[in-house]
Amino acid sequence: MVHTSESTSKTLPQYVAALSAAGGAFAAGTLLGWTSPAQTPLLDGEYGFPVSESAFSWIGSAMTLGAAFICIPIGFLINLIGRKLTMLLLVLPFTLGWCLLIWAQNVEMMYAARFLLGISGGAFCVTAPMYTGEIAQKEIRGTLGSFFQLMITAGILFVYAIGAGLDVFWMSVVCGLLPLVFGAIFVFMPESPTYLVSKNKNESAIKSIQWLRGKEYDYNMEIEELKDTEKKIKENPVSIGSALTRRVTIKALCISLGLMFFQQLCGINAVIFYSTDIFKDADTGIDANLSTIVVGIMQVIATFVSVMVVDKLGRRLLLLASASVMALSTIAMGVYFYMKENGDSVESLGWLPVCSLCVFIIMFSIGFGPVPWLMMGELFASDIKGVAGSIAGTSNWVLAFIVTKTFVNLKEALGSGPTFWLFAGITVVGAIFVFVFVPETKGKSLNEIQQELEGKKPNQTNGNAI
C-alpha cells in the first residue's frame, strides 16, 4: 500500500521512541559485559566469600538460562498487556536482580541474581525489536531496528569502561540504576499502534500514530491497513498451534531460527567472553582491561555503521558479507593457535589473532549481530508475532548458553585451532543459508513481507513510495 502522505510525516519522534525502547537493550548489554571486568576480582575474593572458576562460569551463564526461560512466556504477556507496559514492568525484576547481585552474601545469591537479570534482559530482546518494528515507517524500520543491537554493544562497552575504574560493587550499583533511568524515559513513549488496533482501541492507535508521525500526517491509509490486517485475522480465528503450523509462519520461523542459530554458532559469545584470554594467549602485552575496552569500542562503531547502511544496502548483503569475512577471521585465529599448540614458532605472528579478532568483531557487529534481531521483528504476522518471536529469542539464548559453557570443553577436547575452525565451518554454512533462504525485507511494509513469504508478489511501487 502506498502511503502518499509520508512526505508530511516526521521521523524524529520515531527515532526518539526507538532509542527509548533500546534503553532496555543498553541495560541488557551491561549484563553481557559484566562478567569480563568482574571475573578477576570475584575469583580473588572481593565479595568476602570464595568463588571458584567453575562457580563463576555458572554465574556468567545463569543469565542466558534466565533469558531462555522467559522468552516464550513474555510472548503471551506482550499480546495480553501490550508492548509498552510489558517493558515498563521489566524494570522491577531488573532492579531486584541488581540489588541481589550488589548485596550478595554467597554464590547462590549471585546465581539467583544473574538468573533474574537474564529474565529481564531476555524479555527485552523479544519486546524491544517487536515494538520498534511496529512503530517505524518502512523506510527507516531497518535503521530503527538496528538500534537494539547498537545499544547492547554500547551497554557492553559502558560496563567495560566503568569496570576499569570501579570495583565490582560500585560497578554493579551504576548498572543497577540504568533500568530506573530507562523506565523514567520510556513511560512517556506511545504504545504500538499495531497492538492498540488489535485491542479495538482505534482512537488510541490514531493518537499513537500522530505522536510518531506528527499531527500533519494523514493517518487514514495506515490505520485502515492495520484494521484490514486485524479484520482478516479475526475473520479467520485460529489457535496458536494452528497459527504456528501455517505455511507462512513455518517459513518465517525457519528463517528466524536459522539466523539465530548461525548468530550464536559463529562463536561470537566465545570470542566476546574470552577476548581477554585471546589477547593474553597472543602475548600482545596489552593490558586486559584495555583489550576488552578496545573490543567494545569496535563493536559500537561497527554496529553504528550497520545502523547507517542497513536501509540502503539491505539485510542480505550485510549478512553475506558478515558471514564470509567472519569465517576467514576464525580460520586465521585457528591457524595461529594450532601452530602455537603444536610448538611452531609464532613470535612474529602475535598480530594475527588480534587482527582476526578485531575484524571478526567488526563484521559480526555490521551483519550477524543486529540483522537477526531486526528481522525477527519483521518476518511474523501480527497474530503470532509474540509467540513466534519468543521461540526465536529462546533458541538464541539456549544456544548462547551452550556455546558459552562448552567453549572451554571444546578447546580441551579439540584444541583451540580446530575449535575456531569448527566455528568457521558453521559460519560458511550460515552464508549459504542466507543466500538460499533469507528474503530481502528492505523498503517493504510488514504486510508486503508476509505476501512475499506466502509466495505472492507485493506491489512493486511500494518500495518507491514517498
Same fold, 10-189 and 238-456: yes
pTM value is 0.81
Q: How many CB atoms lie within 10 A of CB 4?
A: 11
- Find all residues with CB under 8 Å of 9, minimum gap 6, and list them: 137, 213, 214, 216, 217
Which of 187, 122, 145 has the alpha carbon at shortest distance from 15? Answer: 145
pLDDT at position 303 is 87
Contact (Cβ atoms closer than 8 angstroms) between residue 1 and residue 459: yes
| pLDDT per residue as tens, the chain (466 positions) | 334 444 577 889 999 999 999 999 999 999 988 988 898 899 998 888 999 988 888 898 899 899 989 888 888 899 899 999 999 999 999 999 999 999 999 999 999 999 999 999 989 888 998 899 899 888 888 888 888 888 998 998 999 899 888 999 999 999 999 999 999 999 999 999 999 998 999 999 999 999 999 988 888 888 988 888 788 777 766 667 777 778 888 999 999 999 999 999 998 876 766 566 667 666 666 676 677 788 888 889 988 888 888 888 889 999 999 999 999 999 998 888 888 888 777 777 777 887 888 899 899 989 998 899 888 878 887 778 778 888 888 898 888 888 877 877 788 888 888 988 999 999 999 999 999 999 998 888 777 888 888 877 655 444 333 2
DSSP code for 49: S
Cα angle: 136, vertex 138, 141; to 5 degrees: 50
Task: Give, rounded to a whole angstrom, the gap between the first and last alpha carbons of the chain.
Answer: 11
| Rounded distance between C-alpha atoms, residue 60 and residue 64, angstroms | 8
Which of 26, 24, 51, 54 has the alpha carbon at shortest distance from 38? Answer: 51
| Rounded distance between C-alpha atoms, residue 394 and residue 123, angstroms | 10
Q: Does domain 238-456 have CATH number 1.20.120.420?
A: no
- Count of all residues that appear for the chain in the document: 466
| Rounded distance between C-alpha atoms, residue 326 and residue 348, angstroms | 23
pLDDT at position 408 is 73
Give Cα separations from 123 to 82, 129, 282, 396, 401 (angstroms): 13, 11, 37, 12, 16
Contact (Cβ atoms closer than 8 angstroms) between residue 125 and residue 78: no
Contact (Cβ atoms closer than 8 angstroms) between residue 132 and residue 18: yes
Which of 25, 123, 27, 116 has the alpha carbon at shortest distance from 63? Answer: 116
Which of 250, 93, 148, 127 has the alpha carbon at shortest distance from 195? Answer: 127
User: Within 367-414, where are the H helices?
Assistant: 371-376, 385-414
pLDDT at position 282 is 62
> Per-domain residue ranges for the chain?
10-189, 238-456
pLDDT at position 461 is 40
pLDDT at position 158 is 94
User: Per CATH, which fold does 10-189 belong to?
Assistant: Growth Hormone; Chain: A; (1.20.1250)
